[in-house]
Structure 1
Amino acid sequence: MTPEEFRRYGRQVVDFIADYQERIESYPVLSRALPGEVLAGLPEHPPEEGEGFEAVLADMERVVMPGITHWQHPNFYAYFPANASGPAILGELLSAGLGVQGMLWATSPACTELETRVMDWLAELLDLPARFRSDGPGGGVIQDSASGAALVAILAAMHRADGGASGRGGVTGRRTLYVSSQTHSSLEKAARMTGIGAANVRVVDVDPGTLAMDPAHLDALLTEDAAAGALPVLVCATVGTTSTTAIDPVRAIGEVCRRHGVWLHVDAAYAGVAAVCPEFRWINDGLAEHADSYSTNPHKWLLTNFDCNAMWVADREALLGALSILPEYLRNRASASGDVLDYRDWQIPLGRRFRALKLWSVIRWYGAEGLREHVRTGVRLAQDLAAEVAADPGFELLEPHPFGLVCFRPLWDDLDGDAADTETLRLMERLNASGELYLTHTKVSGRVLLRMAIGAPATTGDHVRGAWKLIRAEAAAAGPASG
């Protein structure tokens, strides 16, 4: 493809994306494709001769779009938002166009230094501890996801706990990891990958009302495991759990970790970016004194398209000790000088994309006030919905709901327990099949709840009110709710 062809087709692709954004509400939120339907629309064999890009765009409409679930739709309320704003898309295009491989500072100094600056900017915007800044012993790095950040944190924690013995091999004895029943499943997956093993993932009790981790039970488990000869590696506290946005008491957990000398990782994948607003900075309580690592996802609620996880460490020494390997072909004068960062040592893969460009573009386009307005809008719409649910005697609202997620369930007449849960799931399936909205569910105290996560840039009060009206109508059609 020549530069001139790229200009021509590039304009068509940008027009395609802009047209998609304009007409996104015309699509059913959840794809209606059946299993194998997209596959059947694609040739079994690759083309022998090259095809024009017009054919690619035509097949986007014919084959691909029917198989898309529209995450940017204003009535997408499933999981958490996955914002893809205009400046982020353009930043991603710049990254793709430059084709930078930023494994070393030397392979593109701008890739490294722009990321360092942007991570310091984001730390300032979120009012994170000074020790997370690049001019101190710690610093920030862009990972692919909170799952990747958790894996890296565990490796760094293991290195600190055993002096690097785990990396050299031949280690004996149990290593243990501490989560709650509400912690993201990626921590158990990371335990498997790092050799800790799922059997050594210790599940700490939670408060039945708030679903927050119990520091006293954590203390007891750590004491018990150490007495049995285990080596505690890491505790994961969560700020805004995936299920309900429950918040663990980071300060109290951190005090326990400090007494036992255990690494504290704070997973704030969804909720962490809310601290861009001063009124939400209470979620940072305890970070400055206790957190060894911290991560949040701009690709969820901060208008930056996937993948973009922001991770910080308070002291990079353990991270570099765990992950740094220097074969001859990577040696260079800049790295040897010690004056530069090589982010390959801060992540699992060697190679890395120029992800900082999209986050840089977003921060510059929206500014701090624009980012705050986006978060505040999502929270306001969620609180308005929660008030509607609480006022309806046919529904039960889960408290608290401090951010953009609202969890609730219908109260079915003459149904309780498993039968009520089954009916709630059927309601969700009917709503999703309508194409008008997309919800997911969770379980709390054994009962199924519907999750409605608000935060897409295009979502307005009219969309949320319309969704609630549809939920109530569909529930009433299924059978009157109690109350």
Structure 2
Amino acid sequence: MDSAEFEDWSKRIAEWSAQYRDSLRDRPVRPNVKPGETFKEIPVSPPEDGAAFSSIFAEFERLIPDAMTHWQHPRFFAYFPANAALPSVLAEQIVSTIAAQCMLWQTSPAATELETRMIDWLRQAMGLPEGWRGVIQDSASSATLSAVLTMRERVLDFKGIHTGLSGHKAPRIYASAQAHSSVDKAIWVAGIGQDNLVKIPTRDDFGMDPDALRAAIAEDRRKGLQPAGVILCVGGTGIGACDPVEAILQIAAEENLYTHVDAAWAGSAMICPEQRSHWKGVESADSIVFNPHKWLGAQFDCSVQFLKDPTDQLKTLTLRPDYLETPGFDDVVNYSEWTIPLGRRFRALKLWFLIRYYGLEGLRQRIRNHIEWAKEAEQLIRETEGLEVVTPCSFSLFSFACSEGDAATAALLERINKDGRTYLTQTQHQGRFVIRFQVGQFDCTREDVLAGVAAIRALHEG
């Protein structure tokens, strides 16, 4: 493909992209397809000869869009959003064209320094103290794994990276029963083992019980085990639960345990000062993760890990062979040394475009709208005969169920998602099958939220 053909197709794909976004409300949120339908349409063997791009694009249009779940659909109320505000999409187009490998300062000077500035812009936006630094990870899973590895090495006096865990007491990590499954996976990958992840019971508000945490740590010390760190939850995936951050961090400080706060979804709301009570005392944490690619509007992947002091994580993850040295520039930041992968994408550009285009106040207003509309939807569900709200709104997430029981709730969810007007997902809460309703898609309106509720009520009433 020469540059003229590239330019022509770039324009045509831009037109298609705009039309796709404009047509989303006319599409079902989740496609009505069965497993294997797309697979069988793709030739078994790769072609020996190339094809015209017009043929390739025609095949794409025939096979792919109508078999996709449309995450940018304004009535996508499932999971958490994976927003891609249009300014961030444009940034990603530029990033794909430049195609830089941003592992070192010398391989990406402007990208490295823009990342440093964007981290500090977000630090200020979220009310974190001066002096905190950070790095853009691909996802919260990677940030949490980085924090768990740091917990492991810190308690082993940084010997594990050389000798492995054999011969050492296994580190013990404490987390809420509401913690995300990425915490469990980080424990596996770090070699700590599931048996050394201690899930702490929760209080009536489903936040971690500080007294239970203190007792678990004391019991482990009595047994000669090795407490290493605490992972806190702010806006848990299931029902939006929040741990009592200040109390938990106080216990961790007394016990000299490294702390990581998982605010992957709800962290975006902290750009609104009135929401910061949910993580009061967070400045005492060692590490915090939140995903701008969820609620803030940055296209996936873009996860920010803040670090009060990056020293321990750098001691854990830095590996600098001769071929990665930058002669004459010993004091530059190489963000690959802050993360697990060596290769890094230019993720800061979409944050810059997003924040410059909307401003903090424009982004705050979207989040405030989502919270307000979710509460309105919650009230409408509460008023619907035969439906009950199981967990009230936490930020912009609530859950509900059919009064008749789990089977009726599961059947309702199946009808909702086959219908296509909206898309919801489920979780288990205190032994019940419940449906989650989460408002957060970047371009949704109050009318979209009300339309989603209307579809639920109509399908429930049958």
TM-score bracket, normalised by the shorter chain, equals over 0.9
Q: Is the 8 A contact 2:89 2:350 kept in 1?
A: yes
Q: Of the candidates 341, 346, 351, which is equivalent to residue 343 of structure 2?
A: 351
For residue 428 of structure 2, what is the aligned residue in structure 1?
443
The code of the aligned residue for 2:124 comes to E
Q: Of the candidates 439, 443, 447, which is equivalent to residue 454 of structure 1?
A: 439
Equivalent pairs, count: 460
Alignment of 1:68-467 (within 5 A): 68-132=68-132, 139-171=133-165, 172-207=168-203, 209-288=204-283, 290-335=284-329, 337=330, 339-412=331-404, 420-467=405-452
Q: Is the 8 A contact 2:78 2:437 kept in 1?
A: yes
Shift in Å, 1:391: 2.9
SS in 2 for 1:44: coil
Shift in Å, 1:320: 0.7
The code of the aligned residue for 1:152 comes to S
| Separation in structure 1 between the aligned mates of residue 177 and residue 328 of structure 2, nearest angstrom | 45
Q: Is the 8 A contact 1:334 1:340 kept in 2?
A: no
SS in 2 for 1:236: strand
Per-residue CA distance 1:211-231 (angstroms, 9 max, x = gap): 110011111111111222222
Q: Is the 8 A contact 1:105 1:340 kept in 2?
A: yes
Q: Is the 8 A contact 2:239 2:391 kept in 1?
A: no
For residue 135 of structure 1, what is the aligned residue in structure 2?
none
- Give the fraction of aligned pairs with identical amino acids, expressed as a percent: 40
Per-residue CA distance 1:418-452 (angstroms, 9 max, x = gap): xx101101110111011111110112211121111
| Separation in structure 2 between the aligned mates of residue 468 and residue 312 of structure 1, nearest angstrom | 37
Shift in Å, 1:170: 4.3
| Separation in structure 2 between the aligned mates of residue 32 and residue 409 of structure 1, nearest angstrom | 24
Q: Is the 8 A contact 2:391 2:400 kept in 1?
A: no
Shift in Å, 1:156: 1.5
Shift in Å, 1:146: 0.7
| Separation in structure 2 between the aligned mates of residue 436 and residue 346 of structure 1, nearest angstrom | 43
Q: Is the 8 A contact 1:296 1:311 kept in 2?
A: yes
SS in 1 for 2:398: strand
Change over 3 Å in CA distance of 1:170–1:296 after alignment to 2: closer
Q: Is the 8 A contact 1:174 1:229 kept in 2?
A: no
Per-residue CA distance 1:354-399 (angstroms, 9 max, x = gap): 0111111101111111111111111111011112123334322234
Q: Is the 8 A contact 2:265 2:295 kept in 1?
A: yes
Shift in Å, 1:111: 1.2
Per-residue CA distance 1:274-314 (angstroms, 9 max, x = gap): 011121122331111x2000010100000111110011111
Q: Is the 8 A contact 2:295 2:442 kept in 1?
A: no
Q: Displaced runs of 4+ in structure 1, greater than 3 A?
A: none
Shift in Å, 1:334: 4.6
SS in 2 for 1:66: helix
| Separation in structure 2 between the aligned mates of residue 334 and residue 216 of structure 1, nearest angstrom | 52
| Separation in structure 2 between the aligned mates of residue 203 and residue 276 of structure 1, nearest angstrom | 30
| Separation in structure 1 between the aligned mates of residue 364 and residue 15 of structure 2, nearest angstrom | 29
The code of the aligned residue for 2:453 comes to W
SS in 2 for 1:60: helix
SS in 2 for 1:463: helix
The code of the aligned residue for 1:304 comes to A
| Separation in structure 2 between the aligned mates of residue 23 and residue 6 of structure 1, nearest angstrom | 25
Change over 3 Å in CA distance of 1:131–1:161 after alignment to 2: farther
Gaps of 5+ in 2: none
| Separation in structure 2 between the aligned mates of residue 275 and residue 62 of structure 1, nearest angstrom | 42
Q: Is the 8 A contact 1:129 1:287 kept in 2?
A: no
Gaps of 5+ in 1: 133-138, 413-419, 478-483
Q: Bigger shift: 165-174 or 83-92?
A: 165-174
Q: Tell whether 2:73 aligns with 1:60.
A: no
Q: Is the 8 A contact 1:179 1:235 kept in 2?
A: yes
Q: Is the 8 A contact 1:29 1:70 kept in 2?
A: yes
For residue 480 of structure 1, what is the aligned residue in structure 2?
none
SS in 2 for 1:106: coil
Per-residue CA distance 1:298-347 (angstroms, 9 max, x = gap): 00000111110011111111011001111111122255x2x211101111
| Separation in structure 1 between the aligned mates of residue 255 and residue 373 of structure 2, nearest angstrom | 42
TM-score normalized by the length of structure 2: 0.97
| Separation in structure 2 between the aligned mates of residue 279 and residue 170 of structure 1, nearest angstrom | 45
Q: Of the candidates 430, 454, 460, which is equivalent to residue 469 of structure 1?
A: 454
Shift in Å, 1:130: 2.1
Per-residue CA distance 1:68-117 (angstroms, 9 max, x = gap): 00111111111011111110101111111111111111111111100000
The code of the aligned residue for 1:443 comes to Q
Q: Is the 8 A contact 1:210 1:400 kept in 2?
A: no
RMSD of the alignment, in Å? 1.3
SS in 1 for 2:451: helix
Shift in Å, 1:167: 0.8
Q: Is the 8 A contact 2:426 2:433 kept in 1?
A: yes
The code of the aligned residue for 1:326 comes to R
Change over 3 Å in CA distance of 1:316–1:334 after alignment to 2: farther
SS in 2 for 1:333: coil
Q: Is the 8 A contact 1:237 1:250 kept in 2?
A: yes
Q: Is the 8 A contact 1:324 1:345 kept in 2?
A: yes
Q: Is the 8 A contact 1:83 1:457 kept in 2?
A: yes
